[in-house]
């Protein structure tokens, strides 16, 4: 007897075979079983999605047989398949693309025999009693937050937003809650997500050390920095339920964890949680949905239903999450006191004022009153020198790497444009190259202007490399307490390319071997620098007047996170400072920053967005197109928009649906050409998220039909980005 199976394989969302494919099997397989199937001339990995109830309508000759079954693995759980189905539908991708991308790449290459051999390898479990000798005492805020989070389990199990000042001990709260969940149920699993694993080595080390008693095989990491073999091993441990705690980046949210009971999303505001290629999902939002799914579908155990909770943590929550706490959808937990800080301030009139007594004092430097072309204002330079003289460290933040963003000739106005992108190549002095940060095209710096031959071509603007050089010159006459010269160091994507470079540089900072640290946002978040007492932001004004409505939110978050690197040691907290060099010192954003008053900033931003009908008060999607010409890319989007507004629609009620959706004209992307590919986009907006989803689902057929038209010949690709972070 033959059985007919619906199998999903890895196919692009817009291919002709994006749907599940039908295969024949001589044995009845459960949904979720991993199989190897023929696809064209290849053999690929697939997931059995369903079993067709009636095979009589399908002639046996029309379906190919599965090649083999990876029967050493338990089938993927129903909840996992529901999560993938939701992800594919909401973010407008194919089931197979999402399902197979969630599996480790090496698993796709293994045969059933190879997998069986790997699964037979013995594992060593070094589990033992938990060592609690190094547990720190919790303060009042931490105890209250844990109590309130536990109490919510008796209620409606809302997602929790932990709103805590930088240095308030959020990580210890995560550790304690995770420990409770694991202790209550011997099978329970916990997932802790971080925005970028290489930016938070201390967090990873703390979790691995705290849960070392579980054993080497039971605490695993899942992120793109692992080798294929390491990633497969971690995934197999999580899928089998052997791994009790998984620490990972955004990819971990789709990992198979059959006994998931707690999801922690640290720094939930971070844009890194949004995937920017393929299925452009938000791992933070999927974490919230996954916890809801696991709770709703969990089977009762001894009369008490299993619960999966999610905790989002941040000192500067995303406005979407903050708004959810205002409407009651999320539980808000607040920690306003820094660990080890001085006694509370007398100012308790607002949450911002409560924070002010414990976080660095913010000083705004009006650059309009500083010497012309000044890079480091004299008062800031004096403050840095004073810190060095006292043996303290300073952090100088500039979110632009390289020596200078542009190399230019002032005689003929030549600039170092990239021939393949609508962007400038950045000058890197250390290796004398002009490097495009978009396509990677690199050339040696010319000896003279390529246009007019002028040898006086000069860098314009500053990056971290030039700032490091400039600070070394300015501080040349300053000495440390032991009489030695100032040590200036830089951490950015250029200095941390080699494996282990970031860890080595961070170790130098922690060991006190660096006096002034220069860097990008890599060092502005997630690090526990104990000896930094001064943080300075050099050029933050660009985001104040950006066309992107999210730019102020990102800037405020970044500056608050950067400020949080100072004064993390109680001995220095009272004297710690955050300096901001700006030409607009009276801007409301800097006023809120000075008071460390995120609630006031969020209230102002939400008021503006509500008036303008912007997220979170509306839903958005971007349709992007790439072609060899800008005209073709925009033409495809314009034609698809026109087709959507035609007299006929792809479904009943289409005309009524269009009244709830706005399609804006097609425009070039902010960087319209990358690697000789022209890029355009169209914004789709609706006050109703459900209406936008219905429209996008129905519009798929219109987009496919438009793509097939002769006028779209030469279009390279198109994609839908739901809930985009940049417009």
Residue 352 confidence (pLDDT) above 50: no
How far is the C-alpha of 725 from the C-alpha of 727, rounded, in Å? 7
How far is the C-alpha of 25 from the C-alpha of 48, rounded, in Å? 11
How far is the C-alpha of 347 from the C-alpha of 356, rounded, in Å? 8
Q: In the prediction, which pLDDT does 345 show?
A: 36
Residue range 611-620, pLDDT digits in tens: 999 999 999 9
Residue 54 confidence (pLDDT) above 60: yes
Residue 351 confidence (pLDDT) above 70: no
**In the CATH scheme, what is the homologous superfamily, with its name and number, of domain 619-722?**
ACT domain (3.30.70.260)
Q: Provide the sign of the torsion angle of the four alpha carbons 686, 688, 693, 695, taken in this order.
A: negative
Contact 508, 488 (CB under 8 A): no
Q: What 3-state DSSP class applies to 311?
A: strand
Of 444 and 136, more confident: 444
Contact 471, 488 (CB under 8 A): yes
Q: In the prediction, which pLDDT does 354 show?
A: 41
Residue 679, H or E segment: strand 677-686
Q: Tokens 């890029």 identify what position?
A: 679
Q: In the prediction, which pLDDT does 356 show?
A: 39
Q: In the prediction, which pLDDT does 543 show?
A: 84
CB atoms near residue 550 (< 10 Å):
20
Q: In the prediction, which pLDDT does 584 show?
A: 95
558 by Cβ neighbours in 10 Å (0-12 / 13-18 / 19+) ranks as buried
Q: In the prediction, which pLDDT does 342 show?
A: 40
Residue 254 confidence (pLDDT) above 80: yes
Of 528 and 428, more confident: 428
Residue 115 confidence (pLDDT) above 50: yes
Phi, psi (rounded to 5 degrees) for 253: -65, -25
Average pLDDT over residues 310-323: 96
Question: Which residues lie closer than 8 Å to 417 by C-beta, 6 or more apart?
Answer: 423, 424, 425
Compute CA distances 173 → 163, 529, 553, whole Å: 12, 20, 26
| Both structure tokens of 12 | 């692009």
Residue 632 confidence (pLDDT) above 50: yes
Q: In the prediction, which pLDDT does 196 show?
A: 85
How far is the C-alpha of 623 from the C-alpha of 640, rounded, in Å? 10
Of 430 and 300, more confident: 430
Q: In the prediction, which pLDDT does 341 show?
A: 44
Weakest-pLDDT range from 115-124, 214-223, 634-643, 705-714: 115-124
Q: What 3-state DSSP class applies to 325?
A: helix
Average pLDDT over residues 279-304: 82
Phi, psi (rounded to 5 degrees) for 155: -105, -130
Average pLDDT over residues 479-485: 91
User: Which of 120-124, 133-137, 291-295 ranks highest by mean pLDDT?
Assistant: 291-295
Residue 87 confidence (pLDDT) above 80: yes
Residue 404 confidence (pLDDT) above 80: yes
331 - beta bridge partners? 160
Q: What percent of the chain has pLDDT over 70?
A: 90
Q: What percent of the chain has pLDDT over 90?
A: 66
How far is the C-alpha of 508 from the C-alpha of 511, rounded, in Å? 5
Question: Which residues lie closer than 8 Å to 362 by C-beta, 6 or more apart?
Answer: 563, 577, 578, 579, 580, 590, 593, 594, 596
- What is the 3-class SS of 409-462, one letter each residue? CCCCCCECECCCCCCECEEECCCCEEECCCCCCEEECCCCCCCCCCCCCEEECC
Residue 343 confidence (pLDDT) above 70: no
How far is the C-alpha of 44 from the C-alpha of 32, rounded, in Å? 16
| Both structure tokens of 659 | 């009244």
Residue range 451-466, pLDDT digits in tens: 999 998 999 999 999 9
Residue 510 confidence (pLDDT) above 60: yes
Every domain of the chain and the residues it spans: 3-120, 140-335, 359-401+463-611, 404-461, 619-722
Average pLDDT over residues 23-30: 90
Fold of 3-120: GIY-YIG endonuclease (3.40.1440)
Q: In the prediction, which pLDDT does 137 show?
A: 86
The CATH number that domain 359-401+463-611 falls under is 3.40.50.300
How far is the C-alpha of 608 from the C-alpha of 567, rounded, in Å? 33
Fold of 140-335: Rossmann fold (3.40.50)
- Mean pLDDT score of the chain, rounded to an integer? 88
Average pLDDT over residues 419-426: 94
Question: Which residues lie closer than 8 Å to 669 by C-beta, 6 or more apart?
Answer: 624, 679, 680, 681
Count of alpha carbons within 13 angstroms of residue 701, beta-carbon side: 9
Domains 140-335 and 619-722 share a fold: no
């Amino acid at each position: 007897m033959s059985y007919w199976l619906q199998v999903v394989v890895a196919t692009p969302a817009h291919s002709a075979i994006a749907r599940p494919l039908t295969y024949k099997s001589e044995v009845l397989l459960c949904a979720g079983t991993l199989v190897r199937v023929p696809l064209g001339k290849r053999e690929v990995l697939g997931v059995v999605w369903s079993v067709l109830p009636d095979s009589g309508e399908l002639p046996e000759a029309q379906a190919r047989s599965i090649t083999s079954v990876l029967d050493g693995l338990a089938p993927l759980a129903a909840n996992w398949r529901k999560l993938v189905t939701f992800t594919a539908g909401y973010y407008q991708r194919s089931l197979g693309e999402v399902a197979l991308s969630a599996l480790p790449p090496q698993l796709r290459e293994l045969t059933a025999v190879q997998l069986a051999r790997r699964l037979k390898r013995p594992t060593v479990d070094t589990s033992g009693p938990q060592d609690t000798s190094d547990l720190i005492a919790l303060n009042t805020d931490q105890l209250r937050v844990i109590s309130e989070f536990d109490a919510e389990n008796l209620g409606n199990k809302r997602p929790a937003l932990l709103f805590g000042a930088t240095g308030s001990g959020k990580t210890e709260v995560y550790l304690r809650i995770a420990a409770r969940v694991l202790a209550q149920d011997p099978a329970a699993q916990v997932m802790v997500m971080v925005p970028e694993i290489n930016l938070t080595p201390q967090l990873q080390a703390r979790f691995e050390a705290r849960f070392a008693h579980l054993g080497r095989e039971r605490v695993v990491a899942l992120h793109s920095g692992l080798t294929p073999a390491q990633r497969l091993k971690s995934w197999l441990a999580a899928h089998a339920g052997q791994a009790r705690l998984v620490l990972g980046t955004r990819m971990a949210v789709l990992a198979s964890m059959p006994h998931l009971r707690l999801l922690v999303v640290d720094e939930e505001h971070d844009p890194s949680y949004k995937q920017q290629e393929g299925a452009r999902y938000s791992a933070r939002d999927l974490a919230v949905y996954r916890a809801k799914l696991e709770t709703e579908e969990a089977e009762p155990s001894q009369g008490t239903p299993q619960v999966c909770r999610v905790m989002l943590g941040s000192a500067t929550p995303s406005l979407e999450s903050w708004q959810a706490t205002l409407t009651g959808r999320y539980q808000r937990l607040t920690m306003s006191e820094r660990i080890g800080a001085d006694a509370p301030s007398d100012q308790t009139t607002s949450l911002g004022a409560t924070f002010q007594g414990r976080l660095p004092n913010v000083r705004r430097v009006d650059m309009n009153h500083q010497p012309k072309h000044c890079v480091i204002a004299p008062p800031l330079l004096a403050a840095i020198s004073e810190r060095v003289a006292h043996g303290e460290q300073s952090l100088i933040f500039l979110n632009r790497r390289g020596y200078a963003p542009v190399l230019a000739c002032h005689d003929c106005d030549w600039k170092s444009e990239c021939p393949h992108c609508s962007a400038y190549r950045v000058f890197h002095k250390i290796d004398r190259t002009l490097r495009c940060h978009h396509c990677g095209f690199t050339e040696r710096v010319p000896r003279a202007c390529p246009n007019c031959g002028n040898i006086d071509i000069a860098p314009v603007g500053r990056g971290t490399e030039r700032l490091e050089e400039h600070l070394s010159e300015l501080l040349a006459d300053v000495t440390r307490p032991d009489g030695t010269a100032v040590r200036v160091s830089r951490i950015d994507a250029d200095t941390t390319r080699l494996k282990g470079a970031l860890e080595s540089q961070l170790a130098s900072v922690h060991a006190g071997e660096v006096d002034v640290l220069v860097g990008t946002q890599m060092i502005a978040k997630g690090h526990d620098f104990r000896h930094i007492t001064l943080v300075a932001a050099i050029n933050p004004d660009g985001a104040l007047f950006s066309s992107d409505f999210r730019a102020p939110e990102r800037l405020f978050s970044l500056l608050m996170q950067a400020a949080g690197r100072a004064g993390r040691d109680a001995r220095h907290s009272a004297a710690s400072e955050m300096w901001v060099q700006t030409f607009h010192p009276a801007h409301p954003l800097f006023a809120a920053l000075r008071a460390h008053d995120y609630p006031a900033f969020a209230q102002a931003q939400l008021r503006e967005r509500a008036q303008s009908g912007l997220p979170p008060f509306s839903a958005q999607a971007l349709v992007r197109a790439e072609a060899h010409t800008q005209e073709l890319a925009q033409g495809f989007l314009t034609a698809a928009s026109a087709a959507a507004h035609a007299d006929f629609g792809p479904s009943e009620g289409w005309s009524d649906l269009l009244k709830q959706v706005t399609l804006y004209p097609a425009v070039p992307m902010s960087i319209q050409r990358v690697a000789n590919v022209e890029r355009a986009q169209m914004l789709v907006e609706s006050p109703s998220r459900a209406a936008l989803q219905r429209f996008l689902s129905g519009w798929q057929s219109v987009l496919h039909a438009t793509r097939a038209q002769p006028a779209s010949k030469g279009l390279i690709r198109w994609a839908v980005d739901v809930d985009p972070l940049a417009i």
